[in-house]
């Protein structure tokens, strides 16, 4: 199962890289967001699950960072690259865009590895993912409901479809809102469900330490 998750995540990264190359220069915020959320919310958890507790795990359980700390790192990375000035610079340079996506991948792997903890740490992992869901949802809402375009003006081309800058930003915000809310909330629920299953297996009268 781990190998399947790892191979799937790596293949998805390849598809996202091709999507990034094909859409670069079109000025579409939605295209950027599809790649971004694919990296942090789909490819990262698959790869993290595939390497967790294996010789390829860069953070074996004793060395794993706090899920909340990892979530804060992802918050800083994501919000930094969505400052309008930074988006303008990144959108004008493929090399910088690759650095941006690499930082998303690093932050995503850090978060998911921090949250894939042994049984006694599942609650902390669930809290970290739920916190991440909150700040991703908040940014998505702010982008979708912004009264004016934050990332340029005029029309853009999103996967071959012409859109106004305002509509493109709104769709991108919805992509972030929906994908982020689902992926991190679902991850937190899965961890909590696993914790409850483990508790149910304990003998009656012997609470979990």
Domain ranges of the chain: 2-198
SS3 131: helix
Name the DSSP letter for residue 55: T
Mutual angle of helices 2-23 and 94-115, in 10-degree steps: 160
**Would you list the DSSP string of 88-156?**
HHHHT-HHHHHHHHHHHHHHHHHHHHHHS--GGGHHHHHHHHHHHHHHHHHHHHHHHH-SS-SS--SEE
pLDDT of residue 99: 95
- Specify the length of the chain in residues: 209
pLDDT of residue 188: 82
Structure tokens at 153: 């003006």
From 173, 157, 191, select the one nearest 36 (Cα to Cα): 173
pLDDT in tens, the chain (209 residues): 888 999 999 999 999 999 998 888 787 899 999 999 999 999 999 999 899 888 887 877 677 788 999 999 999 999 999 999 999 899 889 999 999 999 999 999 999 998 887 655 678 888 889 899 999 999 999 999 988 888 877 788 887 788 888 899 999 999 999 998 889 988 888 887 776 765 555 555 455 44
CB atoms within 10 A of CB 100: 25
Instruction: Note the pTM of the prediction, 2 decimals.
Output: 0.86
């Amino acid at each position: 199962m781990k190998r399947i998750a790892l191979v799937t995540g790596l293949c998805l990264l390849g598809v996202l890289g091709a999507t990034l190359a094909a859409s670069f220069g079109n000025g579409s915020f939605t295209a950027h967001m599809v790649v971004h959320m694919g990296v942090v919310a789909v490819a990262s958890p698959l790869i993290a699950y595939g390497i967790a507790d294996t010789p390829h795990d860069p953070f074996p359980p004793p060395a794993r960072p706090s899920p909340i700390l990892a979530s804060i790192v992802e918050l800083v990375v994501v919000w930094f690259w969505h400052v309008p000035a930074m988006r303008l610079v990144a959108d004008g340079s493929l090399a910088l865009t690759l650095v941006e996506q690499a930082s998303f991948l690093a932050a995503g792997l850090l978060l998911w590895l921090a949250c894939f903890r042994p049984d006694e740490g599942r609650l902390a992992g669930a809290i970290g993912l739920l916190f991440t869901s909150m700040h991703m949802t908040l940014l998505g809402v702010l982008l979708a409901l912004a009264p004016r375009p934050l990332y340029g003006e005029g029309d853009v081309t999103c996967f071959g479809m012409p859109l106004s800058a305002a509509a493109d930003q709104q769709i991108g915000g919805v992509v972030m809102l929906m994908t982020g809310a689902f992926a991190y909330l679902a991850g937190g629920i899965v961890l909590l469900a696993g914790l409850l299953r483990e508790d149910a297996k304990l003998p009656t009268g012997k609470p979990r330490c």
